[in-house]
Amino acid sequence: MAARQYIAVIADMVRSRQLSSYRRRAIQGKFGDLINSLNHEYRKTIAAKFIITLGDEFQGLLNSAALIPDLIWRLDFDFNERNLRVGVGCGTLDTPLQRYAINIDGSALHAAREAIDTAKREKTLGGVFCGFGEWGSVLNGIARILWFQRSGWTPSQREIAQLLRSGMSQVAIAETLRIRPQVVSRQVQSSGCMQYFAAENAWRLIFQKQIDPLLRNKNGRAKLR
């Protein structure tokens, strides 16, 4: 067990305690729906299912880091009620793996908790990474740039970026949104979303080609420290 490493993810809602009791209950229902959706969609990559551990926080374990760009995008775009802080940790487990990510402990969870605490303290969104050794600065740097860019998108630019990322062409997007193709083209250029996707793909390649092989390597723990 000591040689097997996992990716732990902890996310929580920003300023959830400022909500009224009624609004908080409604948002928690949507929070639960989001978790169920993630567990279904990413079931092949999840080692221990995402579960709400507190009313405004959830955690899960992944077998692969390559999912992180898609996961952070989903958390940003599919849950509009509150911003979500995300802490990502890499490490081992000291307890048996469970079906759901509860009643488990180990360096993976400790690293994710350190990451989410850093995100709270520094008011950082877009994902904070701990336990990734020399790659931590690279992963955090790209996360900061990606968050900065997409946080400046208008609602229209976000919608177009979402459709582009799903694989739709600009012509198909124009038809879907019932706007002129020239409008779509101008929004794509002004938002810089194609440049964003290029940076995000580079981020994904680092997870796939650098981090994931270390997760599977019995010596990976030493290399990631």
Q: Residue 158 and residue 188: Cα distance in Å, rounded?
A: 10
SS3 letters for 7-43?
EEEEEEECCHHHCCHHHHHHHHHHHHHHHHHHHHHCC
62: left (phi over 0), alpha (psi -120 to 50) or beta: beta
Q: Residue 137 and residue 52: Cα distance in Å, rounded?
A: 29
Angle at 68 between CA 65 and CA 69, to 5 degrees: 130
- Coil, strand or helix: which one is 125? coil
Q: Residue 176 and residue 170: Cα distance in Å, rounded?
A: 10
Q: What is the pLDDT of residue 217?
A: 75
**CATH 3.30.70 correct for 6-224:** yes
pLDDT tens per residue, range 52-63: 998 789 999 999
Distance, C-alpha 92 to centroid of its chain: 20
Element (H, E) at 54: strand 46-54
Provide the residue ranges of all domains of the chain, joining segments of one domain with +: 6-224
Look at residues 19, 182, 8 and name the one whose alpha carbon lies nearest to residue 106. Answer: 8
Q: For residue 199, how many other CB atoms are within 10 A of its CB?
A: 15
**Contacts of 69 by beta carbon, 8 Å cutoff, 6+ apart:** 200, 203, 204, 207
Q: Residue 132 and residue 123: Cα distance in Å, rounded?
A: 21
Q: Residue 5 and residue 152: Cα distance in Å, rounded?
A: 35
DSSP 64: -
- Coil, strand or helix: which one is 210? helix
Q: Which structure tokens are listed for 199?
A: 């940076």
Give the residues of the chain that fall short of pLDDT 50: 1-2
Q: Are 215 and 90 in contact (CB under 8 A)?
A: yes
Q: What is the pLDDT of residue 26?
A: 79
* Beta pairing class for 84-91 and 6-13: antiparallel
Q: What is the pLDDT of residue 2?
A: 45
